[in-house]
Amino acid sequence: MDIINITYIWMLIALIVFPINLVYKAPYGKHSTKKWGKSIDNKTGWTLMELPALLTCPLTYFTIVEEINLSIVFIILWITHYFNRTIIYPLRIKTKGKKIPIAIVASAFFFNMVNGFFNGYFLTLVQFESISHMYLILGLIIFIIGFYINISSDNILIKLRTKQKGYVIPKGKLFNYVSCPNFFGEIIEWLGFAIMTLNPGSLSFLIWTICNLIPRSIAHHKWYQDNFENYPKKRKAVVPYFL
Ligand SMILES: NC(=O)c1ccc[n+]([C@@H]2O[C@H](COP(=O)([O-])OP(=O)(O)OC[C@H]3O[C@@H](n4cnc5c(N)ncnc54)[C@H](OP(=O)(O)O)[C@@H]3O)[C@@H](O)[C@H]2O)c1
């Protein structure tokens, strides 16, 4: 079986995982439970599970590509995102004493390894010069907007923990419209990446991100409604005015 067909199967798995994610919440953060066996320090868990994505995509790309060309720009965008998620983000989050199940870290590690490989592999086939300027510019603008929304929303959440340890209702920027603007930003970001690079690897990553983060944002939204009586009624879960 060739790699394109394997990538289609990988996309199909994401679609199968989607309804499962709607029923079973990934047991970390707000949805932590002790039922999922042994766990490790939350910050270490984040670095461990994201590291394969940071490394596998560029390593695959540089191993396979015969001549470095302008599509290296996509690798730089990838590294920028994953350097933040793997190194900077875990150092900044205020989750001292919190744990994450090894089962979650292991499954995310596997996912990031496969996803990093597919993206690195298909980026070697992308001919930068032949991409339509419209896709390139539109995709890059969407990617940058998503990146900004994701990081600025994560920043608001991180700052909430400077004065107290628990959970409070986040406010400001897109939090005035949705419970999970960080997830909204992440989805927008990989939508932009898929538009720019137009390949099965980036498309599969977009599908996986949607199938992981839409159910998690619905679970977060319900958690806020159940835990805060004064939770803003007009706020949606992840897409302003829509979902
Ligand atoms: N591409 C993908 O498929 C994918 C999948 C998962 C995550 N991500 C990205 O990874 C990042 C983190 O994901 P996550 O699921 O951990 O996000 P999250 O549940 O929104 O939590 C982010 C951080 O903020 C804290 N926090 C959340 N709500 C809070 C509140 N109301 N008051 C005070 N602190 C609060 C959390 O602490 P606690 O840990 O104590 O809750 C955590 O440290 C996001 O940017 C997300 O987009 C991407």
The residue with tokens 């990031």 is 112
Q: What local confidence, expressed as pLDDT, does residue 162 receive?
A: 86
Same domain, yes or no, for 106 and 155? no
Ligand 1 nearest atom to the CA of residue 169, by list position: 31
Alpha-carbon dihedral angle through residues 188, 190, 191, 193, given to the nearest 10 degrees? 130
Same domain, yes or no, for 146 and 223? yes
User: Which residue stretches of the chain have pLDDT < 50?
Assistant: none
CA distance 46 to 66: 33
Using the 8-state DSSP alphabet, how is residue 240 labeled? T
Same domain, yes or no, for 195 and 106? no
DSSP string, 64-110: H-SS--TTHHHHHHHHHHHHIIIIIHHHH---TT-EEEHHHHHHHHH
177 Cβ closer than 6 Å to some ligand 1 atom: no
Q: What local confidence, expressed as pLDDT, does residue 188 receive?
A: 98
> What range does the domain containing 156 cover?
131-243
Q: What local confidence, expressed as pLDDT, does residue 5 receive?
A: 96
Same domain, yes or no, for 70 and 141? no
Q: What local confidence, expressed as pLDDT, does residue 19 receive?
A: 98
60 Cβ closer than 6 Å to some ligand 1 atom: no
Ligand 1 pocket, mutate which of 33, 149, 167, 211 (most atoms under 8 A from CB): 167
CA of 71 to the centre of ligand 1 (A): 31
CA distance 160 to 179: 14
Ligand 1 nearest atom to the CA of residue 94, by list position: 43
CA of 133 to the centre of ligand 1 (A): 34
- Residues in the chain, total: 243
Question: What total number of domains does the chain contain?
Answer: 2
CA-closest candidate to residue 75, choices 53, 91, 90, 50: 53
Q: In this structure, is residue 169 part of a structural domain?
A: yes
Residue 156 near residue 170 (C-beta atoms within 8 A): yes
Same domain, yes or no, for 180 and 208? yes
- pLDDT, one tens digit per residue, over 34-71 is 889 999 999 999 999 999 999 999 999 999 999 888 99
Q: What local confidence, expressed as pLDDT, does residue 170 receive?
A: 97
CA-closest candidate to residue 74, choices 148, 3, 7, 139: 139
